Structure 1
């Protein structure tokens, strides 16, 4: 890792260079992330492919054919470039490069702590894996699944998902081929630059929202999940039911991490939590997914309960206070904690 950003930024005023023409999600995000730091906050943006102009820039991203953090050059298009984020397989884009070198400073600034703080490193890795890495993969043409493996399995997409990504969103912000453009080159470049700034702000908004989620919601939930996991044997001898006494928190990542560390037992199958932090709130029973992003549950609620509500569900389960069970079996509800727990324990038997 390069030295801290504060030690490298001594040129004033700061200018950031990137390429003009069709813009992409990675450099739009790279520019935004740099501008989150005080040293770059008032930086000038220069979009050009002219080597002479790029040479005048303090920092250059996604153009220039050079990766050298000592001189603030962050391009990834070189034939020999194969840099990845620590312990991750995906080749970096300009977004990944900027994040790898400046991400900890951005996170530390957000948390109001030093870059060496434990929580900074935890969020640094989490935000990369969940937000930055998909941007890197998209820009470098790397598929989520091995294309040859997909072909060998004979799998076909059920629908087109090409528009459902941040990369596609940024692509749509580029000028269309037949949009009217000023005849003056400088005016035309200004129009294009304004569209780029819209794209950069949109990518930055999503990045900031993701960062705030991990710093303000996900990380504070860790201790709560740890406590609930430690008490799970109080609700089921095999530890298959986990209960949150207060309002539900983001628990999936933390649960999988705890289970991986413990490496034993059947694993948690159902999570119980109140809908609201009120004394009389209804309770939910949620089946644990097989993985964080999966729609498949480890043990869905019984098929016979699915799509049934209220009194009919009471009669079917033999448990009073039932509210519903979703048709897909991944979640249900009861008017009380005792009722939700009874549903979980009975579901374990079926």
Structure 2
């Protein structure tokens, strides 16, 4: 899909059209993502709601009332629009539309590989789920949780999070209601466009950080997690202990995927890794969260160990070489691998 869109681009100067006025995260990111591709790198930006001007644009996002990839039109405000990303339930915004059609080309260009390379598809799906989908939901007024179910359960927020989100971050870059506006309409539009470009660069920076992370750190970690997962029975007959020999890597996403693919009730409870990649490194014992972003562990370290350090921890746990166990019970440490393993094995029994 993205490859077809990329191939349609012409060598003539390209203009991207979007609406003027109050801007949002979705079109700010859509413009940024397009400009990551060589064909759009020097594109002209036209912010207007004038149909005649939009008609002159090569590509139009978030305005125009039309979704037609063959014509490079990517609006989502039509009453009949219901398109979602493959395998996901959230209705797309202009960011999601552009990413769905051009995301693979962006990733392939970043990696200097072909668009049909296996790793491109993996990262394409991952970045949508971890980054783009939240913007789609925000722009379309979709809550992360069912508001009716929350009300029925009587749940209330314990504190204000300040309403901070990627969408809110872009929203704050709009002009204030009482900011001075140039009397000349052309100058006024230029001022507004400059603020839009600031917002586009700001949310684009976050997208590029995600792109760098998933291509340079997250993806290379996948093979390491797979190898550790394959040898987990060496440390526990039920495979509840995962060991990284050398150094830790981002493991949660990959572990949950492996467990989901394998099925069954057997789950990893503790992950062991050295604090640094040196022979004399101390070792950590970390619990596996119920979900990636949860503070609840599948099995916390024993309550009797929590908050103790060094010799006192040795005395209480019965395992020599203890360094600490966090008061919340989600992580602990030992001076050696054997000590960390002994802590994990003993914790499984308690």
CA contact (8 A) 1:241 1:268 kept: yes
Following TM superposition, by how much is the alpha carbon of 1:311 offset from its aligned partner in structure 2, in angstroms? Answer: 1.6
Following TM superposition, by how much is the alpha carbon of 1:266 offset from its aligned partner in structure 2, in angstroms? Answer: 2.4
CA contact (8 A) 2:35 2:41 kept: yes
The residue aligned with 1:83 is 83
Find the residue that maps to 1:97 and give its secondary structure: helix
Following TM superposition, by how much is the alpha carbon of 1:158 offset from its aligned partner in structure 2, in angstroms? Answer: 1.1
The residue aligned with 1:61 is 61
Q: Give the TM-score of the pair, scaled to structure 1.
A: 0.98
The residue aligned with 1:235 is 235
- 1:45-194 pair list within 5 angstroms: 45-194=45-194
Tell me whether 143-152 or 253-262 shows the greater mean CA deviation.
253-262
**Cα distance in structure 1, aligned partners of 2:53 and 2:107:** 31
The residue aligned with 2:196 is 196
Supply the RMSD in Å over aligned alpha carbons: 1.1
Tell me whether 89-98 or 222-231 shows the greater mean CA deviation.
222-231
CA contact (8 A) 1:2 1:69 kept: no
The residue aligned with 2:317 is 317
CA contact (8 A) 1:282 1:336 kept: yes
CA contact (8 A) 2:33 2:99 kept: yes
**Cα distance in structure 1, aligned partners of 2:6 and 2:344:** 53
**Cα distance in structure 2, aligned partners of 1:112 and 1:102:** 15
CA contact (8 A) 2:3 2:105 kept: no
Following TM superposition, by how much is the alpha carbon of 1:227 offset from its aligned partner in structure 2, in angstroms? Answer: 0.8
Whether 1:10 and 2:10 are equivalent positions in the alignment is yes
- 1:236-251 pair list within 5 angstroms: 236-251=236-251
Following TM superposition, by how much is the alpha carbon of 1:2 offset from its aligned partner in structure 2, in angstroms? Answer: 6.3
The residue aligned with 2:340 is 340
**Cα distance in structure 2, aligned partners of 1:48 and 1:163:** 29
CA contact (8 A) 1:182 1:188 kept: yes
Find the residue that maps to 1:189 and give its secondary structure: helix
Cα deviation, 1:83-123, whole Å, max 9, x if unaligned, reads 00011000000000000000000000111110011111111
Find the residue that maps to 1:173 and give its secondary structure: coil
Count of aligned residue pairs for this structure pair: 350
Unpaired stretches in structure 2, ≥5 consecutive residues: none
122 and 111 in structure 1: CA distance in 2 versus 1, 3 angstrom threshold: same
**Cα distance in structure 1, aligned partners of 2:74 and 2:248:** 41
**Cα distance in structure 2, aligned partners of 1:6 and 1:176:** 37
